[in-house]
Amino acid sequence: MVMPIADELLSEGMIHNELYSNISAARTDEDKMRQLFKALHSGGNKVKSAFLSMLRENDPHLVQDLVQEYNSLPGEHDRYTEPLIIQKHRQQREREEEIRSTGQNFYQVMGQRDSKAYKSTKVERLFDPDEHGDIQRTVILQGPSGTGKSFTTQKIMSDWACERLYQDRFDFVFHLRCKELNQATGNKSVMDLPNYDQSLSSMIKQVLRQSPERVLFLVDGFDELKFPLDVPKDSLPRDPWTQCSPEETLSGLIRKQILPESFLLVTTRSTALDKLNGVVKNPVRYAEIVGFSKEGVEEYFQRFFKKEQHSQQAYDTVRKNETLFTACFIPVICWIICTVYREQFEEGTEMIQSLETTTSIFVEFVATLLKHHSQDMGQSVLTILQGLGKLAEKGMEEQQVLFDHDSVSQTVIM
């Protein structure tokens, strides 16, 4: 993708003709990349920022693979702690009971969910036969935001690729992110949707023709789809090579018009479950990620911190605070809390007693991110935090939860 990006940089006036000629004249792709790097290095932050935007547009999968959180150091990736997954449709009163509970009482309620009555299960057992010996080829994994649905699909991909999961069940696993599918243009077949090594095309075609039951599709983030899937059944494709609109192709896959013998795992927020139910073909197995159990939270703290002393100190501090301890059942919030406390340990400061609410934790977390990533914004961390605070206050007054890029840019001048 060097030349397409170089073309855009030239048209935007980010590099001059001589540098562009040097890139174009380089013999190998590696030499072209070296010349492009020289251009970026001499152009400063403005050119680097433009390059990153173009790279995201031209090769989003590469960026996703390369970009890591700033605080993930070598050897720190083995933090995965499996969340509690249940296979029971819960009543409204049960959800209300969880919302009303806090602290130890909350984890006692959650402990009841991790029981035979609630049919708790593991990722590796999602496609096992039921008590009657029947196999559901479609599994819907629902749960609130932040409970680990997307991370679970990524973990499935990683473990399958490393032959730690499903190696005896599936020959191919394809990961389809609905957020990326929203950007799809033109007609696409099922095999045009996932990103995979084209050298495997002939092998994939052979498996799809001869053993479709050896293929798993992971459709992640159904609730994020911007196009409808209520497509007339007659217009749906019936094979993975027919090119149709993205909504027709994805609808055909989820409705089992395409590759009915293949396996399908769809993740969604519970708010979009009714919409999904109107698309999927029965029989379907329902599972729900509830969050971390009490034991899961303690395990995550132990995995997160390098030193056992830090792990125990942070965990003891949070356990004494009902608000923070309850919030830790949501994996993403547990990660945020651990990140904030680790920052305090690395700076050699004592545990901050004012970090007693989720708001104070979030403010400290955002301040930590800005400290590492706001060097080119032209404003102090405090000024940016104050601007974000005003934006949050406005959101509360107007009952607005999400803010678009323009709203943030108007509040925080970058």
> Residues 370-407: pLDDT tens digits?
877 766 666 788 888 888 888 889 888 988 877 877 88
Lowest mean pLDDT among 7-16, 315-324, 377-386: 377-386
- Beta strands 120-121 and 84-86, pairing class: antiparallel
pTM over 0.85: no
More confident call, 64 vs 258: 258
- Partnered with residue 333 across adjacent β-strands are none
Angle between helices 2-11 and 29-58 (to 10 degrees): 70
Q: What is the dihedral of CA 21, 23, 25, 29, to 10 degrees?
A: -160
Q: Which amino acid is at 259?
A: L
Distance CA 314, CA 149 (A): 26
pLDDT of 350 higher than 80: no
Q: Average pLDDT, stretch 232-259? A: 92
* Out of 56-65, 136-145, 203-212, 269-278, least confident range: 56-65
Full DSSP string of 296-319: HHHHHHHHH-SSHHHHHHHHHHHH
pLDDT of residue 61: 64
| pLDDT band with cut points at 50, 70 and 90 for residue 105 | low
Q: How confident is the model at residue 152 (pLDDT cuts 50, 70, 90)?
A: very high
Q: In what order do the strands lie in the sheet with 215-220?
A: 120-121, 84-86, 285-291, 138-142, 263-268, 215-220, 172-177
DSSP string computed for 192-252: GSS---GGGHHHHHHHHHH-GGGEEEEEE-GGG--S-----GGGS--STT--B-HHHHHHH
pLDDT at position 88, please?
66
Residue 68: pLDDT band (50, 70, 90) is very low
In whole angstroms, what is the distance from residue 98 CA to residue 106 CA?
Answer: 6
Q: What is the mean pLDDT of the chain?
A: 83
Q: What is the mean pLDDT of residues 141-151?
A: 90
> What's the confidence (pLDDT) of residue 69?
43
Segment 249-258, tens digit of pLDDT: 999 999 999 9
Q: Are 123 and 85 in contact (CB under 8 A)?
A: yes
Can you tell me the mean pLDDT for 120-144? 91
Domains of the chain: 2-66 (1.10.533), 122-291 (3.40.50.300), 294-411 (no CATH)
Q: What percent of the chain clears pLDDT 90, i.e. is strictly above it?
A: 33
Cα distance between residue 116 and residue 189, in whole Å: 42
* More confident site: 195 or 298: 298
Tell me the sheet residues that pair with 139: 265, 285
DSSP 259-272: -TTSEEEEEE-GGG
Q: Which two tokens stand for residue 101?
A: 């509970």
3 and 32 Cβ atoms separated by less than 8 Å: yes
Asked whether the predicted pLDDT for residue 220 surpasses 60, the reply is yes
Tokens of 277: 């139910």
Q: 159: alpha, beta or left, given left = phi > 0 and alpha = psi -120 to 50?
A: alpha
The pLDDT tens digits for 161-188 are 888 999 999 999 999 999 889 988 899 9
The mean per-residue pLDDT over the stretch 325-351 comes to 85
Contact 266, 299 (CB under 8 A): no
Does the structure show a pLDDT above 90 at 362? no
Predicted confidence (pLDDT) at residue 116 exceeds the cutoff of 70: no
| Lowest-pLDDT choice from 55-64, 195-204, 332-341, 353-362 | 55-64
The Cα–Cα gap between 109 and 101 comes to: 8
Query: Average pLDDT for residues 294-318, to the nearest whole number?
Result: 92
SS3 (DSSP) at 78? coil
- Weakest-pLDDT range from 33-47, 216-230, 265-279, 346-360: 346-360
- Spatial separation of the C-alpha atoms in residues 139 and 288, rounded to whole Å: 10
Here the tokens at position 161 are 């690729």
In order of 41, 44, 52, 165, 340, the CA distances from 20 in angstroms are: 14, 16, 17, 47, 44
**Could you tell me the pLDDT band of residue 284, with boundaries at 50, 70 and 90?**
very high
Whether 359 has a pLDDT exceeding 50, the answer reads: yes
Residue 134 in this model has a pLDDT that exceeds 80: yes
- 3-state DSSP of 330-360: CHHHHHHHHHHHHHHHHCCCCCCCCCCCHHH
Q: Which two tokens stand for residue 271?
A: 């708010």
pLDDT recorded at residue 76: 45
Distance CA 258, CA 236 (A): 9
As to burial, measured by CB atoms within 10 angstroms (0-12 exposed, 13-18 middle, 19+ buried), residue 275 is middle
Q: What local confidence, expressed as pLDDT, does residue 74 receive?
A: 39
Question: Between 80 and 128, whose confidence is greater?
Answer: 128
